Structure 1
Amino acid sequence: MEHCRLGTSGLMVSRVIFGNWLTHGETIARPAATACVQAALDAGIDTFDTADVYAMGAAETLLGEALRGTTRSSVVIASKVCLPVGSGPNDRGLSRKHIMESCHGSLRRLGTDYIDLYQAHRFDEDTPLEETFQAFDDLIRQGKIRYVGVSEWTAEQLAAGLAASDGLRSRIVSNQPQYNMLWRVIEPEVVPVCAGAGIGQLVFQPLAQGVLSGKYRPGATAPAGSRAAAGGRAPTFIRRVLGAELLDRVQRLRPIADAAGVSMAQLAVAWTLQRPTVSAAIIGASRPEQVTENAAAAGVRLGADVLAEVDRVLGDLIDRDPTKTARMMAVEPSWAAADQSTG
């Protein structure tokens, strides 16, 4: 497993990160979750991403249990705060009150004394940025977090956050956006800001929720065990992107992967890792073999001809609209309106 610095910070992260959104505590049982974490460790993945809101805390609990017995200093644990975790007015956002309480809850569930990377899960329009970053700074001084990142912030929000954290220990070192071959909305605006500020991208959904793995075929029922056939909230998200035209284009990537000597999943992860400012790609999995396969993408180098062919095949289905940053749950991708006949 390759490692790299997170942006221009001193923190080293594995280039493939194991994340547990929509899996731990929601779609896979405890034994499978533990097996996936062990497979990640066996593959050299030492960076793990979760959040307080994932399965309403159960994901953090399961991750903490799965890592029990692992030397704490040998792994990097990232979590997040902001999205609602209760019905109260202070059970969300980036106020000092919620940040402090959420951090303590995450520490308790994870069974650790500190979180390596604590991320603002979304931007909070209702809280002054100075209050947010001072709270993060205080947590760093208390030894409860080590670094600060954000997730799905726009270029303007990132610039404002950098200004607010100037001179503090809580300066932003990472951004966690959705990013893959199809969804490239961060490229026009977010990537240049991050490049200029030394902010690394920890991108999620490099497989577009499994679509780019090629497992979903036009006109076919979603395969058993896939995210589209799972319980919980997973099918709600993935069925938006199972249009026949998109699935047909994805199948046309198969010869490209074959020629490169990789699986389609490895092609998608390797493509993501070669993009500017990307420090690491976050993978999710329900089976250990998926972790092993995706982790191998860290050592893959794709030639310029391969990258050009990917662009040619996907063509007009690639979405680069910067206004969709941070709204991937509410705004349909440009290609999601195609025939939804699958699954």
Structure 2
Amino acid sequence: MEFRYLGNSGFKISEIIYGNWLTHGSQVENDIATQSVRAALDAGITTFDTADAYANTAAEEVLGDALAGERRASLEIFTKVYWPTGPKGHNDVGLSRKHILESIDGSLGRLRTDYVDLYQAHRYDSETPLEETMQAFADVVRAGKALYIGVSEWNADQLRAGHALAKDLGIQLISNQPQYSLLWRVIEKDVVPTSVELGISQIVWSPVAQGVLTGKYQPGAQVPAGSRAADEKGGANAIKDFMRDDVLTAVQRLAPIAGELGITMAQLAVAWVLQNPNVAGAIVGASRPEQVASNAAASGIVLSADVLARIDEAVGDVSVTDPALTLSPARRPA
């Protein structure tokens, strides 16, 4: 397993990160989730990403149980705040001081830890003054409940404003967590250059495009039983934008490239996002333990300029690149 610095800091993370969105507490049974976490540790993964909103707090609890007994200082545990949680009342959402300070305590209890390494704003909150949000995050850091601050799906202007406030408050905003894959490249034009300038790294989610880049979905064919595209509890909705025949046809053109390199298509997809020097880590999920080891094997793979050019040609114009699609909700969700 390779390790990379997160942002302009001395903090290192595993470049393959285990994430439990759509799995722990919902898609897979808790014993399988625990086995998957053990497989991640066995593969050398030390960084784990979750959020209070995943399975309405259940995912944090499952992860906390699975990591119990591990040496805390040898792990990097990330969580997030913004989306509605608990009974989802009028203050159980957003980035107000009230919600942040209450949410961090809830997360720490479920994760069975005194602190998280990275506490992230899960989206930008247009209904709370940014000054209030960043002051609350600063207080979380000063209380020793988080070591660093990150965000998720913030655009370039939001990153710039948040970074400036964090600097004034004496805390480090070191990461952004966007969607990024061969099929979703909206961060490349604005977010990445701004982040490089500010010393912010990307921790990317969905590097395999919710499983589409594994090649298991064939154009014009029925989706495989048990796959994410067949999951009506959330997986199918998350993957629907990629389930077009033109996208699936383009993905099949990646198979020969992966074959020549002696790697799987999923490993090719994860390795591709890690070629971007602004990417510190790629978050991978798993519905069974063997998937973790396979994804972890993408660590350290170097793709030549020729291979990268062939990948671009294979995918063609099905990749989404519009930077305006880096969006947070215009209003807090009810």
Per-residue CA distance 1:133-181 (angstroms, 9 max, x = gap): 1111111111111100000000010111112212324331000000001
For structure 2, list consecutive stretches of 5 or more residues without a partner in the other structure.
330-334
Post-superposition offset of 1:231: 4.4
- Secondary structure (helix, strand or coil) at the match of 2:297 reads helix
Distance 1:307 1:225 in 2: 32
- Secondary structure (helix, strand or coil) at the match of 1:18 reads strand
Distance 1:312 1:107 in 2: 45
Contact 2:154 2:328 survives alignment (8 Å): no
Distance 2:126 2:165 in 1: 14
Contact 2:119 2:150 survives alignment (8 Å): yes
Instruction: Name the residue aligned to 2:106.
Output: 105
TM-score (structure 1 length as normaliser): 0.93
Instruction: Name the residue aligned to 1:338.
Output: none
Post-superposition offset of 1:69: 1.1
Instruction: Name the residue aligned to 1:215.
Output: 216
Instruction: Name the residue aligned to 1:10.
Output: 10
Distance 1:306 1:72 in 2: 39
Q: Does 1:33 align with 2:33?
A: yes
Matches of residues 12-91 of structure 1 in structure 2 within 5 Å? 12-85=12-85, 86-91=87-92
Matches of residues 239-318 of structure 1 in structure 2 within 5 Å? 239-318=240-319
Contact 2:125 2:328 survives alignment (8 Å): no
Contact 1:133 1:170 survives alignment (8 Å): no
The runs of at least 4 aligned residues of structure 1 exceeding 3 Å deviation read: none
For structure 1, list consecutive stretches of 5 or more residues without a partner in the other structure.
329-343
Post-superposition offset of 1:26: 0.8
Q: How many residues align?
A: 328
State the one-letter code of the partner of 1:274: Q
Post-superposition offset of 1:128: 1.5
Post-superposition offset of 1:235: 1.1
Instruction: Name the residue aligned to 2:164.
Output: 163
- Secondary structure (helix, strand or coil) at the match of 2:147 reads strand
Post-superposition offset of 1:87: 3.0
Superposed CA RMSD in Å reads: 1.2
Distance 1:113 1:171 in 2: 19
Distance 1:172 1:210 in 2: 30
State the one-letter code of the partner of 1:125: S
State the one-letter code of the partner of 2:49: D
Distance 1:87 1:255 in 2: 48
Report the more deviating stretch, 215-224 or 34-43. 215-224
Distance 1:300 1:165 in 2: 35
Distance 2:70 2:201 in 1: 26
- Secondary structure (helix, strand or coil) at the match of 1:316 reads helix
Instruction: Name the residue aligned to 1:334.
Output: none
- Secondary structure (helix, strand or coil) at the match of 1:117 reads strand
State the one-letter code of the partner of 1:312: E
Report the more deviating stretch, 42-51 or 168-177. 168-177
Instruction: Name the residue aligned to 2:332.
Output: none
State the one-letter code of the partner of 1:135: A
Report the more deviating stretch, 132-141 or 74-83. 132-141
Instruction: Name the residue aligned to 1:120.
Output: 121
State the one-letter code of the partner of 2:130: L
